[in-house]
Structure 1
Amino acid sequence: MIRCELNALCGSRYSSFDSYRQHIYRCHRSLIDPFDNDHSGSVAIEKALNDIGGSSVDCISSNEPDLTVDSDEFIHPEEELSEIDYQPINFGPILNNVFDQNTGCTKLTAFYTYFLLEFREHHLLPQKLVQLIISNICSLLDIIIKITNAKTLSACAPVIDFATVLREINQIISFISKNEYQFLKQCTEHFDYQPPTKIMLNTAEECANYVPLKQSVSCMLHDDQLLQAIIDNIKSLSTCTAKDKDLIISNRQCRSVRSNLVRPTNSNALLLKLYTDGIDITNPIGPKKDSHKLTCFYYLLDDLPEIVRSQVDSIGLHCLCYTKNLNNDNSRRMLMNILVEDLNKLQIESISIPRLSSRIYFVFSTFCADNLASNEIGGFQKNFNGGHFCRHCFITYENRHIPLTDISFVPRSRLKHDKIVNHIIANNGRQIVQGVKGLSWFHDLIGFHSTESLPPDIMHDIAEGSTAR
Structure 2
Amino acid sequence: MWKCKDCSAEVSRRSELLKHYRLKHSHFGRGHHIKCLYPECPCLLKTWNSLLTHLSRNHSNTPEHSDKFATFSCQLCGCSELGTEREYFVHISRHLKNNETVTCMFKGCDYKSNIYSTFKSHKSRKHSLHSLVDFKEDIVRGSFATETAEHDVSNAEELWGDEQPVDLETSNDHEDVVQLKLAAVLLKLENIFHVPSAAVDELLEEFQYLLGTASLCSAAKVIQDTLNSHSLQIDQSVIEELASALCTSNPVYKSVGKGCPLATSFKRKNFYKENFKVVEPVEYVLDEKNKRTFQYVPVLKVLQQLFSDCHVLAKVLDGSRITEQSGEEVIYRSFREGLFFKENSFLSAGELRVLLNLYIDDFEICNPLGTSRKKHKICAIYWTISNLPPACHSSLTSIYLALLCKSEDVKTYGYEKILEPLLSDLVTLESQGIFIAHLGEFVRGTIQCVIADNLGAHSISGFIESFSGEYFCRFCEAKRSDIQETEVSSGVFTLRSKETHEMHVSSAQSNAKPCHGVKRRCVFSAHLSHFSVCSGYPPDIAHDIFEGILPVELAYCLNILILKKILYT
Taking structure 2 as the reference length, the TM-score comes to 0.57
TM superposition shift of 1:137: 0.8
Give the distance between the partners of 1:414 and 1:230, measured in 2 at CA: 30
SS of the counterpart of 1:363?
strand
The yes-or-no answer on 1:384 pairing with 2:477 is no
Q: Is 2:393 the counterpart of 1:309? A: yes
407, 420, 427: which is aligned to 1:344? 427
Cα 1:336–1:423, aligned 2, differ >3 Å: closer, same or farther? Answer: same
SS of aligned partner of 1:176: coil
Matches of 2:315 and 2:547, distance apart in 1? 36
Q: 1:172 to 1:446 in 2, by over 3 A?
A: farther
Whether contact under 8 Å (1:177, 1:183) holds in the other structure is yes
Alignment CA distance shift 1:308-1:435 (3 Å): same
Give 1:404 deviation, angstroms. Answer: 3.8
Superposition deviation, residue 350 in structure 1: 2.2
2:295 aligns with 209
The answer on 1:374 being equivalent to 2:457 is yes
Greater shift in the superposed pair: 259-268 or 121-130: 259-268
> Match for 2:466: what amino acid?
N
How far the C-alpha of 1:280 sits from its partner, in A, is: 1.0
CA distance in 2 between counterparts of 1:234 and 1:128 reads 43
1:277-288 matches, within 5 Å, as 277-282=361-366
Q: What secondary structure sits across from 1:267 in the alignment? A: coil
Offset at residue 158 of structure 1 (A): 4.7
Are 1:326 and 2:410 counterparts? yes
How far apart in 1 are the matches of 2:307 and 2:251?
39
CA distance in 2, matches of 1:277, 1:300: 15
Residues 1:161 and 2:231 aligned together: no
Aligned to 2:536: 453
SS of residue matched to 1:327: helix
Find out whether 1:361 has 2:447 as its counterpart.
no
Q: Which has the higher contact order (CA 8 A, sep 6+)?
A: 1
Q: CA deviation at 1:225?
A: 2.4
- Residue 178 of structure 2 corresponds to which residue in structure 1? 108
CA distance in 2, matches of 1:112, 1:126: 17
Q: In angstroms, what is the RMSD of aligned CA positions?
A: 3.2
Query: Please, which of 398, 415, 422 is the counterpart of residue 506 of structure 2?
Result: 422
Cα–Cα, structure 1 residues 263 and 246, in superposed 2: closer, same or farther, change >3 Å? Answer: closer
Residue 128 in structure 1 maps to residue 198 in structure 2:
yes
Query: Any conservation in 1 of the 2:359–2:383 contact (CA below 8 Å)?
Result: yes
Q: What is the aligned partner in structure 1 of residue 494 from structure 2?
A: 410
Cα 1:356–1:384 change in 2 (3 A) is same
Q: Structure 2 stretches of 5 or more lacking a match?
A: 1-170, 222-234, 553-569
Once residues 357 and 168 of structure 1 are traced to their aligned partners in structure 2, the CA distance between those partners, rounded to angstroms, is 39
What displacement does 1:340 show? Answer: 0.6
Q: Deviations over 1:154-185 (max 9, x none)?
A: 32575453144149934654433454442222
2:520 is matched with which residue? 438
Deviations 1:229-267 (A, max 9, x none): 2322332xx225456663333222444444545379762
- Counterpart secondary structure, 1:220: helix
- Structure 1's 109 and 459: CA in aligned 2 closer, same or farther, altered over 3 A? closer
Instruction: Structure 1: give runs of 5+ residues left out of the alignment.
Output: 1-100
The equivalent of 1:186 in structure 2 is: 271
**What secondary structure, in the 3-state scheme, does the structure 2 residue paired with 1:239 have?**
coil
> Secondary structure of 1:376's partner?
helix
Superposition deviation, residue 362 in structure 1: 2.0
Give the match for residue 142 of structure 1: 212
Counterpart residue identity of residue 309, structure 2: D
- Cα distance in structure 1, aligned partners of 2:334 and 2:382: 20
CA deviations 1:57-108 (Å, max 9, x no partner) are xxxxxxxxxxxxxxxxxxxxxxxxxxxxxxxxxxxxxxxxxxxx97244323
Distance 1:189 1:441, change over 3 A: same
**What TM-score, normalized by structure 1, do the two folds share?**
0.68
**1:149, CA displacement in angstroms?**
8.1
Q: CA deviation at 1:376?
A: 0.7
Tell me by how many angstroms 1:366 deviates: 0.8
- 1:168 & 1:114 partners in 2: Cα distance? 13
Q: How many residues align?
A: 361
- The AA in structure 1 aligned to 2:360 is T
Distance 2:266 2:196 in 1: 17
What are the residue-to-residue correspondences of 1:52-91 with 2, within 5 Å?
none
Distance 1:116 1:270 in 2: 32
Which residue of the partner structure matches residue 93 of structure 1? none
Residues 382, 400 of structure 2: 8 Å contact kept: yes
2:283 to 198, 216, 220: 198
Take 1:137 and 1:422, find their aligned partners in 2: how far apart are those partners? 68
State the shift of 1:424 in Å: 1.9
Secondary structure of the structure 2 residue equivalent to 1:273: strand
Aligned-partner Cα distance in 2 for 1:243–1:219: 41
Aligned partner of 2:346 in structure 1 is: 262
Residue identity matched to 1:205 = K
The match for 1:231 is 317
Structure 1 residues 405 and 445: alpha-carbon distance in aligned structure 2, compared to 1, 3 A threshold = closer
Q: CA deviation at 1:312?
A: 1.9
CA contact (8 A) 1:387 1:396 kept: yes
Question: What amino acid is the match of 1:457?
Answer: D
Greater Rg, structure 1 or structure 2? 2
Partner residue, 1:297: 381
Alignment partner, residue 306 of structure 2: 220
Percentage identity across aligned positions? 24
Residue by residue over 1:298-331, the C-alpha shift from the partner in whole angstroms, topping out at 9 and shown as x without a partner, is 11111211222221221111111111110113x6
Question: Are the counterparts in 1 of residues 433 and 444 from structure 2 also a CA contact under 8 Å?
Answer: yes
Q: Secondary structure at the match of 2:323?
A: helix
Distance 1:404 1:160, change over 3 A: closer
Q: 1:289 to 1:172 in 2, by over 3 A?
A: farther
2:267 partner letter? Q
> Which amino acid in structure 2 is aligned with residue 348 of structure 1?
S
Mean Cα deviation higher: 358-367 or 116-125? 358-367
1:113 touches 1:176 (CA, 8 Å); kept in 2? no
Give the 5 Å matches for 1:167-178.
169-170=253-254, 172-174=256-258, 175-178=260-263
Paired amino acid for 1:232: D
8 Å contact kept, 1:261–1:269: no
Show the counterpart of 2:53.
none
